[in-house]
Amino acid sequence: MLRNKQTTQSIINVIPNPIIITNAKDMLMCNKNFLKFFNLNSIEDFRSKHKCICELFQEIDGCFSLSSLNENMLWTEYIFISKRKHKVSLLCNNKKSHIFNISIERINGNYFVILTNITAKEQNDYYEDIAYHDHLTKIYNRQMFDKLYKKELANHKRYGDDLSIIMLDIDYFKQLNDTYGHDIGDKVLITLAELITKHLRTNDIFARWGGEEFMILLPRTNVDIAYQKAEELRKIIDNHKNEIPHFTVSFGVTQILESDKELSAFIRVDKALYQAKINRNEVVKL
């Protein structure tokens, strides 16, 4: 199992982070700080209630949980080979959730799991981040778009700068999901978000509106320039090729007018998008 277990135990005990050693199914060893976090006297106390720490991973947006895994893949291997950083949310004995950064090293066929407790500020920033970002595409969600739209609308009314909206929708997305499955559908959404993000200005506001619909807010942009941008994005998406099936997007474009009431611009851009989707893969401005 582990060579020189006593030496290994001594080494991990001096590390301030909670650490466990596992084969991905059973916990083999843990250090004192792990026991302290869970208010346990020994590893046997933990084993009496749980077989593996992964049972305690909570399903929270932005945090790794077992639902993130593909079939038959070890959770430790998934995190070990992943190129991005992962967080986990653990429920400790006082029933409070704690978020940790998690890193894993593979040694002699076992996995050394290191948990780093993030600060209170980092945790607050994390919760704020997931509150305002779509968990799949990582761009802004509708709540954040609404917040930023009100700010830009106030600037528009104060300074008179142009302000335009682009609304877009993936063509035949339900059919794509039904044909290829939801995993491919998710990859399409992620690819779309990445493609558009690369071709927007830093002050443009891009958000997932809901389902396969997205919204772009373009400060200091009139409707003709916004139309050109939408047409540019439409062509980029239409010409994009990778491992996922080809897909197209329809766009509606409008400009905020002085006569607009609170929702009238959204009604107008939605109508423009509806007209674009009659033929699909088109841009319509109103």
Residue spans of beta strands (DSSP E) within the chain: 19-22, 27-30, 86-91, 97-107, 110-117, 163-170, 205-210, 213-219, 249-255, 283-285
Pairing of the two strands 110-117 and 163-170: unpaired
- Distance between CA 176 and CA 238 in Å, rounded? 15
Q: Which two tokens stand for residue 18?
A: 């909670």
Q: Determine phi and psi for 156, rounding to 5 degrees.
A: -60, -45
d(CA 217, CA 269): 11
Which residues are tagged catalytic?
212
Task: Report d(CA 31, CA 27) in Å as an integer.
Answer: 11
Distance CA 124, CA 109 (A): 36
Counting Cβ atoms within 10 Å, is residue 46 exposed (0-12), middle (13-18) or buried (19+)?
buried
